[in-house]
Amino acid sequence: MNKTKRQLILNKGTEKFIFRYESGEEDKLLDALIDQAKDKRTDFDWFDAAVLSFKLAQSLIGQADKLLHENTDEQPLSATSRENESE
């Protein structure tokens, strides 16, 4: 199965933080955000982690909504079909 490659980018002043991950491995991305926020050697802080976590959540909601609409559009179930199935 081919996983979709995705990325989240945060521009902070002159720095750019790029996090690349595969679809389905969002938990690893969240772990990476936490690790980066804990690392005192970078300017990436907990607020930055929260911002990217929010962006990730919005992306996942959008993907779920798209899948929901695709499935609804492909297989409409009319009231008459439901009645015939129960007989």
Partner residues linked to 21 by β-bridges: 6
CB atoms within 10 A of CB 33: 23
| Residues 74, 83: Cα–Cα separation, whole Å | 20
The pLDDT value recorded for residue 85 is: 45
Q: Where are the beta strands (DSSP E) in 1-87?
A: 5-12, 15-22
Q: Helix, strand or coil for residue 25? A: coil
Residues 6+ apart with CB under 8 A from 7: 18, 19, 20, 21
pTM, entire model = 0.73
Instruction: Please give the chain's pLDDT, 87 residues, in tens.
Output: 568 899 999 999 999 999 999 999 999 999 999 999 999 999 999 999 999 999 999 999 998 898 888 877 655 555 554 444 444
